[in-house]
Amino acid sequence: MASRESAPSVPEVRLKDLSPAVSPIELVARIVTFDRREVTRRADGSRRPLASGLLSDGTASVRFTWWDPPREGLERGTVVRAVGAEVREFRGRPEVTFTWRTRVGPASPAELPRVDGEEVPFRTVRELVAPLEGFRLEARVVRVAPRSVTVGEERRVVHEGLLADRTGAVALSSWSDFGLVAGEAVRVAGGYVRTFRGRPQLVLDERATVVRIEGTDLPDPTELLRAPPRSIARVEDEGGGAAVAVEGLVVGLLPPSGLVYRCPTCQRSVKNGLCRVHGQVDGQLDLRARIVLDDGTGSLTVNAGRADTERLGGLTLDDARRRLRDQPDPSLIAEELLERLLGRRLRVRGSGTRDDFGVTITPESIEPVEVDLDSTAEELATRLGGGRS
């Protein structure tokens, strides 16, 4: 990208204050989405590069168009300063255009405008949809914990958790440590909403502000964590959720279950020694179970990690390694897990997402439920299409 140079004096404007009546302008914003393509000139049929997407500065999100963008240095998350950007109105909303006169250069996230929580509209959890920005939210911290992640070549700490109000719950991902504690009530401003695994997620960075409040009208975290299970059909209709509780019978396992290999850097599944992010790697053995749970109204998938798989299946990763040395067929481990899990009733809590294959739950807890074995066997046979003679 071109470096920032001297330019005619133009007003610096926050995105929430954009107006076609004030143009050109100077702005600082983060690229939220970015799409590069080529368009055909009507005059001579030649091709011209064009980039478009969304910009955000924490006060609002607006669409942008960039003619003849640079070939490198642009990606989602990049903060830019644009001097001489044009503002127009499209379908009743302002949009930004970068022309050949616009000088665009990199900027620091610290240059983004500070957001005053009192000047942005109030939103409830139910109203949070991507790519919403420029709002304040009052919610209860249900849980929060730090996690080390790899961003490019850098290791960073992200604080992940769950916030809730009376309208629902939303996943939290904070790249700054605000000292959040489970159970406290907070007012948040300066965050933005993105879609992660098909569900809204509230993201906080160094621009956000967090203030502790009384929160007397906010739910107690235990209300959410101990909420009774819902039917799987209802969870499917709602498209999952940040805090889902279901109960049902194990009717099968989906591949890959049993022994799997994971990338030592990002922990993604490795197939034939290849990680889709880090390429050729020396995969590390892990144990998992992709459980199919059915409650009579529908079925969904529960992605149980190593700890839950070992506890529920009574088979440790070391046990699986030893058996693999004796019988080098990983499918036998999956078959043994299925034999130990089939027909068991489980209560699962966690976050659920829906795609073309149905709902998948990433569990926070999986607990076996004691049931009458005879009635369970009959129920299971009925669901599998058999029945007892």
What pLDDT digit, counting tens, does each position of 312-324 carry?
Answer: 999 999 998 888 8
Overall size of the chain counted in residues: 389
| Cα–Cα distance measured from residue 229 to residue 231, given in angstroms and rounded to the nearest whole number | 7
> pLDDT class for 386, splitting at 50, 70, 90?
low
Strand residue runs (E) in 131-283: 136-151, 154-165, 168-174, 185-189, 192-196, 199-204, 209-213, 240-262, 274-275, 279-280
pTM greater than 0.75 (yes/no): no
**Cα dihedral across residues 63, 68, 73, 79: positive or negative:** negative
| Cα–Cα distance measured from residue 125 to residue 184, given in angstroms and rounded to the nearest whole number | 16
Condensed to tens digits (0 to 9), the pLDDT of residues 28-76 reads 998 877 888 888 877 777 888 888 888 888 777 788 999 888 877 677 7
| Cα–Cα distance measured from residue 191 to residue 27, given in angstroms and rounded to the nearest whole number | 19
Residue 383: the pLDDT is 62
Whether 108 contacts 116, CB under 8 Å = no
> pLDDT class for 24, splitting at 50, 70, 90?
very high
Residue 48: the pLDDT is 85
Domains of the chain, first to last: 15-111 (2.40.50.140), 117-223 (2.40.50.140), 227-383 (2.40.50.140)
